[in-house]
Structure 1
């Protein structure tokens, strides 16, 4: 061990005194962030000096406009740089006091930044020179809920033990009043009776592990179709058909990893979104695709020849132009990048009300594709665009470690990355709109992991674009936020000129014809859950089992809207959006697609324990005509808790058991049409009368899904249902 001794220039008591070398005089802010409530008279910033010596030390505290959303002179007073003076020999702290204003505007949390500079007889610590002062608004109110529609919780069914079972997707069959649940964790198709929505009972469970892994389920007129991925996930998957009791009927092959399955409204087509995810090392990377099964002849007519699987190979030569248009293409490895067809990963499908066009979300790619079901051709591939979180109405709570909810605007762009979507038309209009649940998702494989913490050393912010990079990387600012490392290096120099976060924390309304986003809900869902009198205490909690932890998803994708469905009640289109993390359903009036109105938020999750419904994913609306009670229902499949919950629908406090005057009946389709002998199928079970051209009844139907044609002469017939729907039938 080497010992160093230092001699003083004077002797004391006959001895030469020993001392340590002089230490540097260091100035630093006490904390990188300060949180203060608007309405407080001032904010206090503490600056400390360490190792003061015989001379006085000074330092300036200046305002940094580059990282401020609050306005000097309006929100706070800070006219010019202020100088702090530490007397000779001082090693104490001084407090900088900044007067605050109290305006009447409802706004996001604002902030301003101060920096220590121009010190004398001292050095400003490089990692403690800046302080960001949050001003929490005191005027913001909880978003108004007009409650024109009310969801009333009826009950929740425990679908096996959570953890070893799940309830991911749910489908309803009105012909049997059964629910069919995709239990992916348990590897089963669970069949439940909905005869009493307040007390669901089990019917049976079908083990599907011999077929592969179940991802989704759809049902129509007693035919149950399951989307099943191969035991070797990168190989082609299957659609496995069962009858209403779960008895196997047949199966056909579809593309790799079918993640979602749906019937078209007229029942003619059955479609699967085949995600085609790669293996962990990208040694196998199947193409994403959509499979179309011709179902016009019913299940009896389905063979492998009925399946058309459509990929995106025609876009392979357009990678550069697609990227320029905002579509994310980044899969594969440096040595073997994915083609466009491999990179596009279909997630979810919605079919237009006329059953002519399918709209397909490509979640990781932040895009939507349109597919003509008659020509079996993709007709468009469009980016869903990016949010600008600097704009009013697009604030976010970005840290799971900041002690308070801080919905603020930041220099971040949000990748909407929708999961589910639904197609709808306004009453009396033929224009089609889409509503997307902007959940967000990251690719995380051994060969490609794009999610990184903004504060990580490997994520370098461009010093010109972000001169306050060190402060942004603080864990109480943006340091904990998960961002992508595959987008944002605009000049290719290895650092990031733009920041892109996963998911929009919102829903969007899109004009289906043009692909234009006509509305994005922005920060509404976070404002809604933050101010909820019951669930604000678990704001942005995860859906994991155990006691909920407030804000532990703020650094990820917030509430993660995942499921969405729509319904027409009276003359209003309503949307029901499920929130995967916080739980529950938010309801919106969509009659003005550019300005949806919040109707209600409900949640059946415990705010103090790991009980109740957690992780809602699949959501279905059951109209009054298809409901076992005659009341419209909303059914949620809650993946984490493995529960199926049911809500009754009321309008203006009244139960809707029958169709009110002026409401358009659900469309009714007959196929094949024209028909010749045998039977025709109906797009849904109905009660009504089939009349000939003279108006004379020839058949009376009671919740029938088919019409027997034997004995009917050739001619024109009209089917009238008890709900007011009509459909023409030609018999040859």
Structure 2
């Protein structure tokens, strides 16, 4: 598609119609759909030098690619440098070092064999400054600096025109959010700087385009945020805090058009941070306040992050994306549809409900094998929504791609059928690191999500921590979330579909009121009742076994005897299983880690007799933990005849993860004994190492392998806990691992 060169309304209307018709025709074709599949995740800290601490903060924010598509170049803001990654083999990215800069890199782009880096060298917010550093990367192992161009202010986004004639740099001159409550204006105002890419970099010239006097919010302080250029050398610039979009003719260096990004009303959103996902709220008049922008043929797509509250308290953030034409007419607005898709995939960040929800930030458009896509990244939902835009006025979600934490940069590389997403959140102390995710186009099916909730009913879910198969129905599982969410419930899962579908839920109630347990395990008795394990916190919150009927009514709660409870730590009940009927019923519960009087390297499994109220215990031998980590139990699943499967895992993630294992134990002939006696030690046999399964999708290895179930056909299912998308990527693995011998 080509953008119309004349901008009259008649010409625009005609050009839009002609430009969009081929896409509509293409969409109606019978060509089989293809999908993106993650093939690798590069932990950014692996690029650190041998003399640097591995725990040092290092991030990948914005990423570009060399002309041959074999080297990634990313901005590392806290390190004041750019990093390089060798992706000659995209399934095995390799660290390629750093290039030190004189300030904070804010964006990066590639022109022929040159890398252009926008660098913030400001002395303060009131004295903004920066440069455009240019490197020759014909030898990627030794980038050579060939030019430094003054920017006259603090640069943010940079883009190169498709024909290679111009670079455009958004000189933001960002505000100090601690000054006057961050209200605009805060001078000096920003502008757009055009770089004429003629000749050698040392001879490139620059021109400025004034953007003041256009927006209504703060006309003297435009704060340009992001820039994108089409094949007619027209730059689209977002003035995020001003809720405005400007179109600039780069050849003439003048503003062609500008318009407000407008407002949107939302119905069906979660607006309260109350530890429950309740998409029933209404937001009216929310300014879109777009962050990034991309050309989709003759249309403009914006990621509407929202980032500003003015003096009247009006906030932005419409939680979606919008497609505009040259005149600012809205051709499509995502409304709540994108956020609802994230809810269904378990990627909704409830702790951001009173802010901007999933917070769309990055956006990009590209064609892969003649199929047109729009990519929209969610900074808080930690995933990228991929839309088929063959009909740009009616985008269709094609798939959802899991990413690292805080996906910022979205880089399509169609020439190599690759998509690269850089995620900037990095905290070694909290166990998560900045990553670069690499996806390859061409898969016949979308392999994520592996579990989602129904399309017909909007069922929010997350933090799955326990799993059990129905005793009578094939293709039916049940799962429970932990204490991240209030109002404990049981989710119903249909495994006959791929992905598995959460198609119902049963809310637990005690005396007619909802309850807030820390559910870590679920089991089903032969009569259809449920037994649930609620973990204590080592203080006022006790470890409980809960007996509930199939309707969710709590029939009884069972606490540990005082002598046992006195040995408690902050890690308590995890998996639970129930065997037998009537007076022979026994409930087995796995404790996560050793308690005060447990020998080192051993953890207890409790056996409860509901008829007598008596408890007995055995010890389970744990595998040794890595230095600084721990190993514990996460699940206990009966497979009949006195045998159980046990999930044993460490608390490590990413490349540090080592122990994610499924063991089989046989309790036949093992007599549990009461507290105060020497517990018998059970033996274990490795059933399956789960680490290769967790690594198989090319992602960051997840920490919490929490639930396991074996159905009537002997099929094994294992699920991970996504921690409610807080200090975690939100990715959930729902793994189908074949059959096992019952």
TM-score normalized by structure 1? 0.51
Determine whether 1:291 maps to 2:193. Answer: yes
Instruction: Write out aligned runs for 1:57-136 (5 A).
Output: none
Q: 1:162 to 1:172 in 2, by over 3 A?
A: farther
In structure 2, how many angstroms separate the alpha carbons of the residues matched to 1:413 and 1:176? Answer: 43
Query: Counterpart in 1 of 2:439?
Result: 647
Query: Counterpart in 2 of 1:584?
Result: 383
Query: Counterpart in 1 of 2:120?
Result: 229
Count of residues in correspondence between the two structures: 391
Determine whether 1:181 maps to 2:78. Answer: no
**Mapped contact 2:62–2:107 kept (Cα < 8 A):** yes
Instruction: Write out aligned runs for 1:239-318 (5 A).
Output: 239-244=132-137, 245-279=142-176, 280-281=178-179, 285-302=187-204, 306-313=205-212, 315=213
Deviations 1:29-76 (A, max 9, x none): xxxxxxxxxxxxxxxxxxxxxxxxxxxxxxxxxxxxxxxxxxxxxxxx
**Mapped contact 2:35–2:446 kept (Cα < 8 A):** no
Instruction: Write out aligned runs for 1:673-688 (5 A).
Output: none
5+ residue gaps, structure 2, are 1-30, 46-53, 426-432, 448-742
Q: 1:520 to 1:163 in 2, by over 3 A?
A: farther
**Mapped contact 2:208–2:253 kept (Cα < 8 A):** no
Instruction: Write out aligned runs for 1:380-459 (5 A).
Output: 380-389=257-266, 394-401=267-274, 403-410=275-282, 412-425=284-297, 432-442=298-308, 450=309
In structure 2, how many angstroms separate the alpha carbons of the residues matched to 1:596 and 1:289? Answer: 32
Query: Counterpart in 1 of 2:104?
Result: 213
**Mapped contact 1:189–1:205 kept (Cα < 8 A):** yes
Query: Counterpart in 2 of 1:54?
Result: none
User: Which of 344, 365, 373 is equivalent to 1:566?
Assistant: 365
In structure 1, how many angstroms separate the alpha carbons of the residues matched to 2:367 and 2:128? Answer: 40
**Mapped contact 2:399–2:446 kept (Cα < 8 A):** no
Q: CA-atom RMSD, angstroms?
A: 2.3
Larger relative contact order (Cα-Cα within 8 Å, sequence gap ≥ 6)? 1
Q: 1:411 to 1:418 in 2, by over 3 A?
A: closer
User: Which of 305, 314, 319 is equivalent to 1:505?
Assistant: 319
Instruction: Write out aligned runs for 1:505-524 (5 A).
Output: 505-511=319-325, 513-524=326-337
Deviations 1:304-358 (A, max 9, x none): xx01122224x2xx7xxx53xxxx22xxxxxxxxxx23x2110000111222x10
Q: 1:416 to 1:220 in 2, by over 3 A?
A: same
Shift, 1:297, TM fit = 2.1
Structure with higher Rg: it is: 1
Determine whether 1:364 maps to 2:241. Answer: yes
In structure 1, how many angstroms separate the alpha carbons of the residues matched to 2:321 and 2:55? Answer: 29
Q: 1:570 to 1:616 in 2, by over 3 A?
A: same
Query: Counterpart in 2 of 1:638?
Result: 423
Deviations 1:140-199 (A, max 9, x none): xxxxxx993311111111112576111100000133611001000111110111111111
Q: 1:410 to 1:176 in 2, by over 3 A?
A: closer
Shift, 1:485, TM fit = 4.6
Shift, 1:522, TM fit = 0.7
Shift, 1:395, TM fit = 2.6
Which runs of at least 4 in structure 1 moved beyond 6 Å after TM superposition? none
5+ residue gaps, structure 1, are 1-145, 330-339, 426-431, 443-449, 451-483, 488-499, 541-550, 605-612, 656-732
Q: 1:149 to 1:438 in 2, by over 3 A?
A: farther
**Mapped contact 2:36–2:443 kept (Cα < 8 A):** no
In structure 1, how many angstroms separate the alpha carbons of the residues matched to 2:262 and 2:190? Answer: 21
